[in-house]
Amino acid sequence: MPSPAESPKGPFDSLTNAAHRASSFWDRVSDGLRIQTLWTQFFSEARASYSLYTREIDWETVNKAKGLRRFLRLSRLFFWAMLMKLSPARRVFLLIVLAILACFVFDVRPNGTPREAEFVMAIGGLIFLLALELADRVTMKRDLEIAREIQHWLVPQSPPRVPGVDIAFSSRPANTVGGDYYDAFLLDRAAPVPGSQRLLLVVADVAGKSVPAALLMATFQASLRTAANAATPLPELVVRLNEYACAHSLDGRRFTTAFFADFNPQTRALAYVRAGHNVPVLRRASGQLERLEEGDLPLGIKPETRFPSTEVTLAPGDLLVIFTDGVIEAVNERDQEFGEERLLDILRDIPAESAAAMLARLNTAVTSFAGSARQHDDVSWLLLRVE
């Protein structure tokens, strides 16, 4: 009599094992994501890809046609937009594969070629072309991951500890790497009196996205750290950065918007320079909102630009919110922008908590508003709360 371990498996055991293997396979393919999440992600990526190709379509020409002719013209232009994204060799290869596929569809068999062979050749060619594109994508993704790690090193991972001040910041790039930059550091760390140091706050946004913007962001960070010291007045610091930016801005095409703030924790005086950046919001402890609107051109436009500073005095419970345009330009599935008015409404109602807690609420509000819509720009914040 066979032991239990040697007992033959019944149909139920086979079905259970098959279901387990299918479940494991699905978890591996989907990374454990739910169907709704997968569909949302696919829909978002499809919209972004469609926008990438349709940007190159001459819609004026398409709209001149009607009915079937319009559909055919749009299909042809869309096909060419996709084809021209490939390298010349892969374009020719794809056209050959499509010709073979057409022979299969219309049952054209030159030299007595079996119909099944045409189908296998066409599908194999498409899979081979897909493999080449995936190999390029994997290589590029690996390089971008390295760039993201380097960029991660350039920004502070935790805020400086300054008595009487609570700081929080975050950044979420639209792509693997981005052009937003934030920083907060003490200018005179060796000050003899504890708490007498000056605190420099910076939020900047390089025009553009992805790798070009990230490279310019890295040079901005290096220039800032080189030029910043305790003896440099804030306007002079910004002038130096502007001169450097003008020398590397490609005639103003790669400008940088920035907001600089020099805060004295002892006197709570905050001197700031706004170089074309989004207007920060100062929420007083009473709930009243003020805008720090004084400012001038972005960095990298005119070398001779002077940047005078403006000063305000903060009080316990005041909150300074600095952000980049990715916040107010975030869009949802209906292409509606988050907008400044929505941000101001949230800041009026947000409870007075720690800077980190309030930052989490702000990020949640933007993410919930955007939903499944793909992010088009980097979203960065820096919050300073006086205790």
**pLDDT (tens digit per residue) in 281-306:** 999 999 999 999 998 889 999 888 88
Q: What percent of the chain has pLDDT over 90?
A: 36
Query: Which tokens is 27 given?
Result: 């978890």
Confidence band for 192, pLDDT divided at 50, 70 and 90: very low
Category of 331 on φ-ψ map: left (φ > 0), alpha (ψ -120 to 50) or beta = beta
Q: How far apart are CA 180 and CA 97, in angstroms?
A: 43
3-state secondary structure of 298: coil
pLDDT of residue 170: 92
Mean pLDDT in residue range 218-246: 86
pLDDT of residue 252: 61
Residue 176 has pLDDT above 60, yes or no: yes
More confident residue, 328 or 225: 328
Domain map (residue ranges) of the chain: 21-150, 160-386
Q: Which of 143-157, 197-211, 248-262, 291-305 has the highest mean pLDDT?
A: 291-305
pLDDT in tens, 110-161: 666 677 888 888 899 999 999 998 888 888 778 777 777 777 777 888 898 8
pLDDT of residue 250: 67
pLDDT of residue 111: 66
More confident residue, 340 or 148: 340
For the chain, the average pLDDT equals 84
Mean pLDDT in residue range 61-71: 85
pLDDT in tens, 4-39: 555 555 667 777 888 888 888 888 877 777 787 777
Residue 121, judged by CB atoms within 10 A of its CB (0-12, 13-18, 19+), counts as middle
**Which helix (H) or strand (E) element contains residue 182?**
strand 180-186
How many CB atoms are closer than 10 A to CB 108? 13
- The gap between the terminal CA atoms of the chain, to the nearest Å, is 80
Compute φ and ψ for 201, nearest 5 degrees: -115, 135
pLDDT of residue 299: 92
How many CB atoms are closer than 10 A to CB 323? 26
Architecture label for domain 160-386: 4-Layer Sandwich (3.60)
Which range is least confidently modeled, 8-12, 59-63, 271-275, 362-366? 8-12
Write out the DSSP string of 64-105. Answer: HS-HHHHHHHHHHHHHHHHHTTS-HHHHHHHHHHHHHHHHHH
Q: How far apart are CA 148 and CA 154, in angstroms?
A: 10
pLDDT of residue 8: 55
More confident residue, 383 or 296: 383
pLDDT of residue 196: 58
Query: Which tokens is 216 given?
Result: 């310019």
**Which helix (H) or strand (E) element contains residue 366?**
helix 355-370
pLDDT of residue 190: 47
Which range is least confidently modeled, 59-63, 74-78, 128-132? 59-63
Which range is least confidently modeled, 117-121, 265-269, 320-324, 347-351? 117-121
More confident residue, 154 or 385: 385
Mean pLDDT in residue range 40-57: 75
Mean pLDDT in residue range 365-387: 88
More confident residue, 318 or 372: 318
